[in-house]
Amino acid sequence: MKKTGSIALAAAAATTLCLLGSCKKDKEENLIIGQWQVQYTGADDNSNGILEESEKVMIPDTARFTFNFKEGGAGETILVPSLNSRTAITVPFTWSKNASTVTVTANNETNVVTLLTLDRSVFYGVYGEGKDRTWLYAVR
């Protein structure tokens, strides 16, 4: 009887650890879901593989540029060129994520973003090559 109780306790502990591990994995995979406000983009104008301060294009306080990643692989980009006009341009996209990249397809164009940072507050990645290499920095 004592042995059966120990086995049951061990099984319960293993199940709990497994569930906790799965929850952690789900949370990590779902970090991207939600709305991200782009702070700046940047192009590697001199093709040196480094984004320099002079290559950053800051999103002005008078505009908004956001990505909204939804569960199930859908999303939308929302660009408000001027907060005064309140005119928004919305572009739907589809997305998928693996450990180090996010693939985004919009208007029949696909970009694979290599994630440099993805946590609860920062989405930072780069896509493209050479002069077409583009950095994207967004926050919640």
Q: Answer for the pair 132, 140: CB distance below 8 angstroms, yes or no.
A: no
CATH of the domain at 88: 2.40.128.20
Burial of 44 (0-12, 13-18, 19+ CB in 10 A): buried
Please indicate, yes or no, whether residues 112 and 95 belong to a single structural domain of this protein.
yes
Q: Which residues neighbour 59 within 8 Å (Cβ) at sequence distance 6 or greater?
A: 37, 38, 39, 40, 41, 65
What is the domain range of residue 7? Answer: 1-30
Q: Do 67 and 7 sit in the same domain of this protein?
A: no
One domain, residues 24 and 38: no
**Domain check: are 10 and 65 in the same one?**
no
Average pLDDT over residues 15-33: 54
**Do 44 and 71 reside in the same domain of the chain?**
yes
% of the chain residues with pLDDT over 90? 66
Asked if residue 20 and residue 71 are part of one domain, the reply reads no
State the Cα–Cα distance between residues 93 and 82, nearest whole angstrom: 22
Shared domain check, 46 and 6: no
pLDDT (mean) for 79-92: 92
Asked if residue 68 and residue 15 are part of one domain, the reply reads: no
What pLDDT was estimated at residue 131? Answer: 75
Rg (CA), the chain: 21
30-77 per-position pLDDT tens digit: 899 999 999 999 998 888 888 999 999 999 999 999 999 999 999 999
The reply to whether 76 and 20 lie within a common domain is no
How many domains, in total, are found in the chain?
Answer: 2
Which band of pLDDT confidence, cut at 50, 70 and 90, is reported for residue 27? Answer: low
d(CA 95, CA 93): 7
106 neighbors 115 (Cβ within 8 angstroms): no
Q: pLDDT at position 28, please?
A: 54
Residues 74 and 115 in one domain: yes
Tell me: do 76 and 8 sit in the same domain.
no
Specify whether 100 is located in the same domain as 118: yes
Higher-pLDDT residue of 91 and 50 is 91
Average pLDDT, the chain: 83
Please state the pTM of the whole predicted model. Answer: 0.77
Summarize the confidence of residues 24-33 as an average pLDDT. Answer: 67
